[in-house]
Amino acid sequence: MSKLIEDQSRSAPTQRFPTLEARVREADSDKPATAAWTATQTMFSKNHSTASLLVLCLVMVIAGTYVGVRVNQSWIAVDDGTLAQSAVRVLQGQLPHSDFDEIYTGGLSFIHAAAFRLFGVNLLSLRICVFLFFLAWVPAVYSIALRFTPPLTAGMITLLAIAWSFPNYEAAMPSWYNLFFATFGAAALLHYLEVRSRRWLFIAGLCGGISILIKVIGFYYIAGVLLFLAFLEQSDSHSENEQPGTDKSCWGYRLFSAGALLAFLGTLTYMLYRRLAAGEFYHFLLPSLLLVGMILLGERKAGAGTGARFAALLRLVTPFICGAVVPIVIFLVPYARAGSVGSFFSGVTSSAIARAIGLAEGRPAPPQYIVIVLPLVALLAAGMYWKEFQGRVVGAAVALLAVVVVVRAAASSAVYSGVWFSVAMLTPVAVAAGVASIVALGSRDGAKLQRERLALLVALAATCTLVQYPFPVPIYLCYALPLTLLALVAIVTTVRKQRGTYVLASLVGLYLGFGVVNLNPHHIAEYSRPFGRMDVLRVPRGGLQVEDAPFLDALTVFLQQRAPNGLMYAGNFCPQLYFLSGLKNVTRNDNGAAPEEVLKALQSTDVKVVVLFESPYFPAAQTSPEVRAEVMRRFPQSQMAGIYHVYWRE
């Protein structure tokens, strides 16, 4: 053994250690620092697990702090009041649509009732609840962006998605939960594409079922996923090479596929046709039309037979649909025990129709505004394809332009509107670009996963943008915009020929800066009047910083004093008065019952106080002449309290 060691030591080259002088010179130089910096850059420029986790932690801290300090600020009284009053009724043991009229599906009221149990019965508890869901949503956005970009870029994309979404209206609105669960579902489906385990399809279905229980527009997510699964089956069919002699006839499946896709377009057109103009066609119908057209054209290359294709589609759709059905069935158990399943479905249907009719007040931006998107498209294209657009000088020029735009937007409505409409008109453009990219990638070898990822995000952007219909006010764009942003990121990173680092980073900085500096502080959900000074609501069920808080505190006490038996009727969209005062509604509907029901309730001598809202935003919320006349006859004493007319009797 000693001889072997001796022979190895002789054959091994002599290792020369640096002298003390050489080590001192190396320490004085910048080589170690340069090497460390290069290693750090490499780590954060690739999907290194440590770098990814560090960036996620930083994003979570920034998002949690930025949104957390604002989460108790501002409100739209009817929104917070509706959500809170419905949750209180559930907390008292009532079932939505069975024991009282609920304007949404009802699942959110159970979530908020649980929040009341955990955090107390006050408006702030609802904000805490939605804030926790928001914190869970941030990693989902980051994980999707991370599949297409390095950690630092994914972090910036996540912050951009945040700036254009939840901080613009921190109320616990159901549409935020729809966005959150659509993103959770997208993350699950992306993971399915990587591992091909059907439990991820089931999880994606669970997200859809819960989303529907929160608000029926969760069906838009379901529609987007089903379109994606149809594309995925087609993509798998393209990649399969059948053995010679097998039956390749798939006309039966093609007829079924075409019929189902055209039925989807027909249903969508029927939903839109009463208000279908150029703007509605561009924003709401065109994206789905492009997607369906792409799938139909893709049938030309499908190779498997009808039986094989139906079997493949069922393997994809069955776990997803089962996942969607499970939470709905569980939710219906108490209704089945109470014998009111029929009341639930009729209530959901009627409330959805009534809400769609009542909200049909605005129009989306007309198609000609697409010219405002062209500068953004040109800069994106130049960064993606033009070699001369890759230098730092060009990037610095675009960054300087971004700074000027953000600063000028604060003082110029034209600049502000230009940036806003470049985003508001973006989804159909992104879907068209996505469809073109998917078709172009079809001729590339090894691009199957890229095409499928693109198809998923483009499909969800196309269908979930329908949340804006029929009430396309600015905040409704924010309910779906992050999905469009993620689709755009996937498109850019998948088909670009140049890195475009500096230009693309400057564009992200432009829209992130605009969101933080110009968008979030303006409270764009305050559609009825300018935003004013805020104070904390001091009543026990308050907790938010709102406008006219001292007035509302005083009004709450006044109503409680005038209703010693705890009963009140507050008509035409002022449910916040029920919640803040703790007084019980004498009708089933906290937002304003039908005149016949109100007149019947007013016959009771137990009702001592009535409030009529004299400044409703929606025309349908005006008090009917019959109800007003009956109130004035039965309640001789009255007093104007701001925008509320209070009537009472001894």
Confidence label for 355 from pLDDT (cuts 50, 70 and 90): confident
Check pLDDT > 60 for residue 344.
yes
pLDDT of residue 249: 73
Tokens linked to 270: 């029927």
Span of 12-16, 131-135, 250-254, 517-521 with lowest mean pLDDT: 12-16
Check pLDDT > 80 for residue 37.
no
Task: Taking each helix axis as running N to C, give the angle between helix 413-424 and helix 501-514, from 0 to 180 degrees, rounded to the nearest 10.
Answer: 110
Task: Compute the distance between CA of residue 457 and CA of residue 149 in angstroms, rounded to an integer.
Answer: 15
Maximum separation of any 2 CA atoms in the chain, in Å = 118
Confidence label for 42 from pLDDT (cuts 50, 70 and 90): low
Q: Which residues contact 129 (CB under 8 A, 6 or more apart)?
A: 111, 112, 114, 115, 119, 172
Task: Compute the distance between CA of residue 166 and CA of residue 475 in angstroms, rounded to an integer.
Answer: 9
Confidence label for 74 from pLDDT (cuts 50, 70 and 90): confident
Check pLDDT > 90 for residue 205.
yes
Check pLDDT > 80 for residue 16.
no
The answer to whether 119 and 80 are in contact (CB under 8 A) is no
Q: From residue 377, how far is each of 284, 297, 488, 501 by CA, in Å?
A: 20, 26, 11, 16
**Which of 168-182, 250-264, 636-650 is modeled with the greatest confidence?**
168-182
Q: From residue 647, how far is each of 573, 608, 611 by CA, in Å?
A: 17, 8, 6
Check pLDDT > 90 for residue 166.
yes
Q: From residue 514, how far is each of 159, 329, 343, 401 by CA, in Å?
A: 12, 44, 46, 12
pLDDT of residue 528: 43
Q: Average pLDDT of 278-302?
A: 93
The answer to whether 325 and 316 are in contact (CB under 8 A) is no
Task: Compute the distance between CA of residue 370 and CA of residue 356 in angstroms, rounded to an integer.
Answer: 27
Burial class (CB within 10 angstroms; exposed 0-12, middle 13-18, buried 19+) of 173? buried
Residue among 479, 485, 418, 519 nearest 174 (CA): 479
pTM: 0.91
Q: What is the DSSP string of 293-362?
A: HHHHHHGGG--S-HHHHHHHHHHHHHHHHHHHHHHHHHHHHHHHHHT-HHHHHHHHHHHHHHHHHHHTT-
Residue among 442, 644, 441 nearest 551 (CA): 644
Q: What is the pLDDT of residues 539-555, one digit of tens each?
A: 999 999 998 899 999 99
pLDDT of residue 23: 41
Rounded to 10 degrees, what is the CA torsion of 403, 404, 406, 409? 180
pLDDT of residue 14: 40
- According to DSSP, the β-strands at 567-570 and 584-585 are parallel
Task: Compute the distance between CA of residue 285 and CA of residue 227 in angstroms, rounded to an integer.
Answer: 14
H/E element, 215: none
Give the mean pLDDT of the chain: 88
Span of 150-164, 301-315, 463-477, 507-521 with lowest mean pLDDT: 301-315
Check pLDDT > 70 for residue 241.
no
Q: What is the pLDDT of residues 170-191, one digit of tens each?
A: 999 999 999 999 999 999 999 9
- According to DSSP, the β-strands at 567-570 and 609-613 are parallel
Task: Compute the distance between CA of residue 202 and CA of residue 326 in angstroms, rounded to an integer.
Answer: 10
Burial class (CB within 10 angstroms; exposed 0-12, middle 13-18, buried 19+) of 564? exposed
Q: Average pLDDT of 509-529?
A: 83
- Domain segments of the chain: what residues? 534-648
pLDDT of residue 25: 46
Q: Average pLDDT of 530-538?
A: 79
Q: Average pLDDT of 356-382?
A: 88
Q: What is the DSSP string of 165-206?
A: SGGG--S--HHHHHHHHHHHHHHHHHHHHHH--THHHHHHHH
Cis? peptide before 616, omega within 30° of 0: no
Check pLDDT > 90 for residue 91.
yes
Using DSSP, state whether 366 is helix, strand or coil.
coil
Task: Compute the distance between CA of residue 429 and CA of residue 419 in angstroms, rounded to an integer.
Answer: 15
pLDDT of residue 248: 57
Q: Average pLDDT of 562-578?
A: 92
Q: Average pLDDT of 205-224?
A: 98
